[in-house]
Amino acid sequence: MKKTLLLMILLITVLFSCSKTHDEYLSEAKELYKNKKYDKALSLYNKACEKGSLKGCMFLADSYKKGTVINADYSASLNYYAKSFLLADINCQQNSKDACKTLSYLYENGLGTDIDLVKADNASLKACDLGDAASCYYLAEINADNITAFVLYTDKACQNNMAYACLVLGNTYLTGYNKSIAEIEKDSEKGISYISKACKMNNEICANLADIYISGDDLKQDYNTAVTYYETALKHYDMMCSEKNIDNPACRNIDIIKSKYSFDNKTIF
């Protein structure tokens, strides 16, 4: 009896140790896909999906829809979108910000479910509240005519480390309006503060800050500070321009910045 019980325990242990999680299948699938072993990758994406991986199901749904690495199959795509919707709905209820963001996308586009823009916005709102910067910025975009809502959600995106959102909000305060021409009281101090934060998160934005210090439109001209920010941006672009190439945006940006001042005497032209 004891031997039988021991064998059963060993068998269960072996079975469970051989069973991979959906994250493990997903990781292996990504590696195979990166190495262009598409058939094996898609097989593992399917296993990840069957194990409950929202990312795995969404990958397959998009792949069958686009027909890039596998023949387009509308029916298969809809099937995987339906599975994705169920997983997104369940996981969003369990406070997964990524699932809520995906749920919003599915509701907005009618994939795996009927189009429901109210539910899409509610899912985005929950994703934003859970800390998803992209969802916050999406809400800012669709509320751009309402400056109060626009500022609220753009600020949330900025606080969740979206540098571009910080830049947009900074420019809004500097100019006194957003791209939808919704007006706000100009506040140069707030504007510079947001753009400075953006610069710290993404050094290429430091060039925008330098331009502000050069122009003198929103604050007193300060050439030395401008040069400092330009050099910060240059260090960022230098890492992305290992080989000089006019088709490389980073290389072009280096030339643009260098045209604005002399490295020899730090004088702005």
Average pLDDT, integer, range 31-39: 92
Q: Would you tell me which CATH number, out of the four given (3.30.230.10, 3.40.50.1370, 2.60.40.420, 1.25.40.10), belongs to the domain 39-119? A: 1.25.40.10
What pLDDT does residue 22 have? Answer: 78
On average, the pLDDT of the chain sits at: 89
Domain topology for 131-201: 1.25.40
What is the C-alpha R_g of the chain?
25
What pLDDT does residue 4 have? Answer: 58
Least confident of 2-6, 54-58, 142-146, 233-237: 2-6
Q: Would 39-119 and 131-201 be classified into the same CATH topology?
A: yes
Cβ atoms of 236 and 203 within 8 Å: the answer is yes
Provide φ and ψ at 146, rounded to 5°: -105, 100
The residues with which 268 forms a beta bridge, in sequence order, are: 261
* Residue 83 scores a pLDDT above 90: yes
What pLDDT does residue 1 have? Answer: 52
Structure tokens at 266: 């730090």
What pLDDT does residue 266 have? Answer: 54
Q: How many helices (H) and strands (E) does the chain have?
A: 14, 0
Structure tokens at 207: 């060039």
Q: What's the pTM value of the predicted model, to 2 decimals?
A: 0.82
218 vs 188: CA distance, rounded Å: 6
151, amino acid identity? V
Average pLDDT, integer, range 87-100: 98
Summarised one tens digit per residue, pLDDT across range 203-234 is 999 999 999 998 888 788 888 899 999 999 99
Domain boundaries, the chain: 39-119, 131-201, 205-269
Question: Cα–Cα–Cα angle for 85, 118, 154, nearest 5°?
Answer: 100
